[in-house]
């Protein structure tokens, strides 16, 4: 499947902006891509023809989402911090299941 450079940029931009709090509009896409309305319409039509973008709603289809991710598009939001090491009591969980005053016994 051959996709023009502008259509690929549009695909990645729609993926990136899809989770933003503001509505995804054609003027906003034109400004972000730095293209004219005619060029944007052509790219939207191309992605719509290929089944990668719902042209009316400006939303990616599942194949469009898969292609955007495979092409290396990523959300611009920071990743969550790495999890911290578990507490010492969590590491010794099997022992903590029994009372400290009672000897461990077999559990069926």
In a domain, 44, yes or no: yes
In a domain, 93, yes or no: no
Provide the domain limits for residue 13. 5-70
In a domain, 53, yes or no: yes
- For residue 34, give the CATH number of its domain: 1.10.10.10
Tell me the CA distances in angstroms from 51 to 11, 25, 83, 107, one per residue in order.
12, 19, 39, 57
Give the residue with greater pLDDT, 35 vs 91. 35
**Nearest-angstrom CA–CA distance, 7 and 52:** 10
Structure tokens at 79: 């990743």
The number of folded domains in the chain is 1
Average the pLDDT over 60-85 and give the result: 72
Average the pLDDT over 12-41 and give the result: 90
The confidence score (pLDDT) of residue 21 equals: 78
In a domain, 46, yes or no: yes
In a domain, 60, yes or no: yes
Work out the pLDDT band at 92, boundaries 50, 70, 90: low
Structure tokens at 38: 């005619």
In a domain, 42, yes or no: yes
Question: CA geometry: angle at 77 spanning 73 and 80, to 5°?
Answer: 115
3-state secondary structure (DSSP) of residue 64:
helix
**Nearest-angstrom CA–CA distance, 76 and 80:** 12
Q: Which of 4-8, 42-46, 80-84 is the least confident region?
A: 80-84
């Amino acid at each position: 499947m051959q996709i023009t450079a502008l259509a690929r940029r549009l695909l990645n931009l729609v993926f990136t902006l899809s989770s933003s709090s503001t509505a995804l509009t054609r003027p906003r896409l034109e400004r972000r891509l730095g293209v004219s309305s005619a060029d944007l319409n052509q790219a939207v039509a191309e992605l719509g023809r290929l089944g990668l973008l719902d042209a009316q709603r400006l939303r990616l289809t599942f194949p469009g989402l898969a292609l955007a991710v495979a092409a290396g598009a990523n959300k611009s939001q920071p990743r969550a911090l790495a999890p911290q090491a578990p507490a010492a009591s969590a590491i010794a969980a099997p022992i903590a299941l029994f009372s400290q005053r009672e000897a461990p016994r077999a559990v069926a």
